[in-house]
Homo-oligomer: A and B are copies of this chain.
Amino acid sequence: MQGTQETTNRPAAYTPTDRTVPTRSAQKASYDKELVHAILDEGYVCHLGFVRDGAPVVLPTLYGRVGETLYVHGSTGSRPLRMTGQADPGLPVCLTVTHVDGLVLARSAFHHSINYRSVVVHGLAYDVTDPQEKLAALDALVDHVVPGRAADSRPANKKELAATAVIRLDLNEVSAKTRTGGVNEEPEDLSLPHWAGVVPLLKGYGTPLPEADLAPGTGLPDYLAVP
């Protein structure tokens, strides 16, 4: 019973902090874990920010999620991963994922906008040294690109594992921000002869392009079939 209750009472939201409460449009912000997870899981790349010699650096990179932890990987020689390995206690980072869902065209230039969903994560990134955690993180990174793919590929061998660095960033200081719906407009602009509305952006897989030298009998896997 105690265990059940704990599970039920597990917080469904991240606690807002000074860094995760926006100065503007606070009504667009959310700390809901389910929403945050959904936005993160739908992305392909994140934008990872860190500070080098006092200046910001923002790099696009693949990522994966396991529960309340994000993983980023790369060559052991890459800058942010090397810097994380040398940082004590960890490297301050900001990891952001954004989906653009539609273009919002108002009659006034001022009210043009986009419909979007974004997640911003602040925290310290740590080098993953535990071999089991590292393997699980790499599986998560592959499954993040195509769910189910990790089990249908050759796992990393010792040499590949040694050449790959993985860093972790826990989901503690997190916010989502979204804009949905139609156009905001000043009442006096409604009679203007300009088209106004939302242009949705399409997303999806195109036709998969197989390599020419697949092993005989290797067909398209179910997880790539276009629904």
Identify the A interface with B (CB < 8 A). 19, 23-24, 44-45, 47-52, 54-60, 62, 74-75, 77-79, 82, 92-96, 98, 100, 102-103, 105-110, 112, 114, 116, 118, 120, 122, 138-139, 141-142, 145-146, 149-150, 152-157, 160, 164, 182-183, 185, 189-211, 213-215, 217-221, 224
Are A204 and B201 also in contact (CB < 8 A) when A51-B51, A142-B109 are?
yes
* Contacts A/B (CB < 8 Å), 7 sampled: A47-B49, A49-B57, A59-B96, A108-B154, A112-B141, A193-B217, A198-B208
Residues of B within 8 A of A141 (CB): 112
Are A215 and B190 also in contact (CB < 8 A) when A45-B98, A49-B57 are?
yes
Q: Which of B54, B100, B204, B209 is the one whose CB lies under 8 Å from A51?
A: B54
Number of identical protomers: 2
Contact A146 B105 (CB under 8 A): yes
Q: Which of B59, B82, B112, B164 is the one whose CB lies under 8 Å from A142?
A: B112
Q: Which of B100, B103, B153, B206 is the one whose CB lies under 8 Å from A106?
A: B153
Residues of B within 8 A of A207 (CB): 200
Residues of B within 8 A of A48 (CB): 58
Contact B47 A96 (CB under 8 A): yes
Alpha-carbon gap, A110 to B161, bound state (A): 9
Q: Which of B57, B92, B120 is the one whose CB lies under 8 Å from A94?
A: B57
Residues of B within 8 A of A208 (CB): 195, 197-200
